Structure 1
Amino acid sequence: MPRVSVLMPVYNTKPDQLREAMDSILSQTFTDFEFLILNDCSPNADVEEVVKSYTDPRIVYARNERNLGISGARNRLLDMAQGEYLAVMDHDDISLPERFVKQVTFLDAHPEVGIVGTLTKGMSKGTVKPRPTTDVEIKKMLMAHCNLSHPSCMLRASVLKEHGIRYEEMFSPAEDYSLFARLIPVTQFAILPEALFIYRDWEGNTSHKQAKKMEAAAYGIHAFMRRDNPELWAMAQAHIMRKWRYRLFGLVVLSKEQTFRESKWKLFGVLPVWGKKEALTKIL
C-alpha cells in the first residue's frame, strides 16, 4: 500500500500543460505514492495519448464511461485511493519537487491535523500571497472566503472516511470549499509557510469561467458554516470589523487600491462603498 495517493482528474487539458503537471508529480523527492489519473470522458483524445505515453508504474489511469463532472470525478478518485494520505492535484498546475516530502513529514509529526496546504506561487506573475498557518486563523479565513489552495493540499484519508465527508455536487464548482467547510468541525488545518505549488492563473480557470456559480455556491456553504461553527463565525466577523477599522450604519469605505468580494461583505451585513473615510459625512 502506498503512503500517498495522488488524485488528478483530467478533462480537455492542453497536452503541454498536462505533461508539465505529470512531470512535476513524477519528479517528487518523495516516491512512495500511486498517481491516480481519471479522464472524465474528455472528448479530446490528446489527453489519453499524453497519459499513455508515460511508462512509470506508479501511474494508474482510468476513464469514465460518461462525464461525471468535477465532484463526481473527485469522488471516484477517493474511492480508487489506497494511500494513507491523499494529495490533491489539478491537471494544469505544478507541484514543486519537495511538496510531498514536506507534507508527509508534517502530517506524520502532527496526527491532530487532517489537512495541510502550502503557499502557492502564481505562474504568470510569480507572486506569493501570504496566508495564515495556524488552525484557528485558517478556519477564520475560510469563514469569509476560500483562500486555501485546494490542489496544494494533502489530506488524511482516515478523517474523510471516519466522518463520511466527500465532494458535494450541489456546491460545484465550489466543491473544494464545501469539503473544507465540512472538515472545519472535525479536524485541524495547517498551511506550510513555503510556496511549494505553482498555480496556473489564466482566463480558462474555473474561478474565472464560472465565477457566478462559485459565488452562488458560497452562499450555501456560508449558511451551514455559520450554523455549524457559530463561535468561529463570530470571530471571523470581529476580525473583519477590526481589519477595516470602523463601520457606520453598515458601510465600509474602501480606497480604489483595495479589492473585495461583494458577497463576503454582504454576509456580514456590510455594504462596501468606494471612496475615502472623509467621504462618510457626505454619504450619510
Structure 2
Amino acid sequence: MTLDIALPFYGDVDYLKQTVASILTQTDRNWRLIVVDDGYPDDSIPGWFESLNDSRISYQRNPKNLGANGNYRKCIELVTSEFCLIMGADDILLPAFVNNVNQIIESNKDIGFLHTGVEVIDETGKTINSLTDRIKTFVRPNGSEDQLLSGEQVAKSLMRGNWMYFPSIVWNTKLLQQVGFRSDLNVCQDLGLAVDMLLLGKPMYVSSQVVFQYRRHSGSDSSLKAISGERFTEEKAFYSGLSNELAAAGWNVAARSARFHATSRLHALTLIPKAIRSGGAVTTLFRHVFR
C-alpha cells in the first residue's frame, strides 16, 4: 500500500527540511508526499523541493492564505491513497514509520484511524517528557501492547483527556473525506474528527511501537494559542456542544466527561503562572478552570 503523507506548511523552513528528510529515509518506500504551502514568505522553498528531484513529492503554494484549518481541509481534498497522514511540518518520522503503518493496516483495513507510537522532542531534537505529556500517558488507555478500541469507552477516555498526538494519526482516507474537520475549530479539530469517526462505529488502532517524533516547543501554534486563551475559549464551546452530541447518541458517561473536561481545565491551570509573567489571558484561563 502507498501511504499518502500530507504536509500543510507555514512556519520554520529548517524544521520543514528536517521533516522532509525524515520521510526520504523511510525503509519502506511506498509513500507519496503532498506539501501544501499556505503562502509562507520564503521564495527559496519551491526551488528546494524541485532540487529533490523525487517523483513521489509534490509541492504547491496557496495563492491566498487559508489559515491552519483551511489548509488542513485542502490537504484532505488532495490525498487519494487508502490511508493518509497529515503531519506537522516540524515533526519527524522515524525510519520504520511507513513500514509499521503498512503492516498494521494490512491486518486492520476496517479501522477509522491509527494512532502510532510517539516520543516527544524539543526544539533541538532532544527527547523530553513534559507535564502535558505525562498527563497524556496517565489518561490514555492502559496497556503496553497494541490495542483496537471503539465506542463509548474510548470516547470517554478522550473526553477525560485528549491523549492523542494529532500529527501522528493515520486516517482512513475515504472516511476522512466523508467526515472532514469541523470548520469552526482550529485547536480541537483532531479530537472532533476522532469522536465523529467513533460515533460512526469505526474503531481506532493504538500502536505501541514508537515510530513518530512530535516536536513540542513554545513557539508552536498550539502553545501560542494556549497562552493567549484562544485555545480554551474554543475548547469550552467545543466540549459543551460535544456533550450534547454524545448524550444524544446514548453515550451518557462520555457526555458527562465532556461537560467536565478535567484535563483541559488542569492544562489551563498549569499555564496561569506563565500567562501572568508574559501578559497572557489570565482571566480567560481562570474562567476555563473554575466555571
TM-score class, shorter-chain normalisation, is 0.7 to 0.9
Does 2:224 match 1:209?
Answer: yes
TM-score, normalised relative to structure 1: 0.76
Q: Which has the higher helix share?
A: 2
Shift of 1:262: 5.1
Shift of 1:37: 0.2
Pairing partner for 2:128 from 122, 126, 129: 126
Q: 1:151 to 1:233 in 2, by over 3 A?
A: farther
> Which 4+ stretches in 1 moved above 4 angstroms?
235-241
Shift of 1:49: 4.0
Which residue does the alignment assign to 1:55? 53
Does 2:183 match 1:166?
Answer: no
**Alignment of structure 1 residues 1-284 onto 2, 5 Å:** 3-13=2-12, 15-124=13-122, 125-127=127-129, 130=137, 131-132=140-141, 133-136=147-150, 137-161=153-177, 164-186=178-200, 187-211=202-226, 212-230=229-247, 231-235=250-254, 237=256, 260-261=266-267
Secondary structure of 2:98's match?
helix
Give ranges in structure 2 of 5+ residues lacking alignment.
142-146, 270-287
TM-score, normalised relative to structure 2: 0.75
Q: 1:59 to 1:39 in 2, by over 3 A?
A: same
Secondary structure of 2:29's match?
coil
> Greater relative contact order (Cα 8 A, min sep 6): structure 1 or 2?
2
- Larger of the two Rg values belongs to structure: 1
User: CA deviation digits over 1:227-248, x for unaligned, max 9?
Assistant: 232354515757999xxxxxxx
Q: 1:223 to 1:12 in 2, by over 3 A?
A: same
Q: 1:208 to 1:239 in 2, by over 3 A?
A: closer
Aligned residue type for 1:175: Q
Q: Is 1:141–1:236's contact at 8 Å kept on the other side of the alignment?
A: no
Shift of 1:6: 0.6
Percentage of matched positions with identical amino acids: 20
Q: Is 1:12–1:42's contact at 8 Å kept on the other side of the alignment?
A: yes
User: CA deviation digits over 1:141-169, x for unaligned, max 9?
Assistant: 222332211110111112224xx311233
Give ranges in structure 1 of 5+ residues lacking alignment.
242-251, 253-258, 264-269, 273-284
Distance 1:226 1:84 in 2: 31
Shift of 1:184: 2.1
Distance 2:242 2:258 in 1: 16
Distance 2:149 2:193 in 1: 16
User: CA deviation digits over 1:127-151, x for unaligned, max 9?
Assistant: 4753324424542222233221111
Secondary structure of 2:36's match?
strand
Shift of 1:220: 2.8
Aligned residue type for 2:3: V
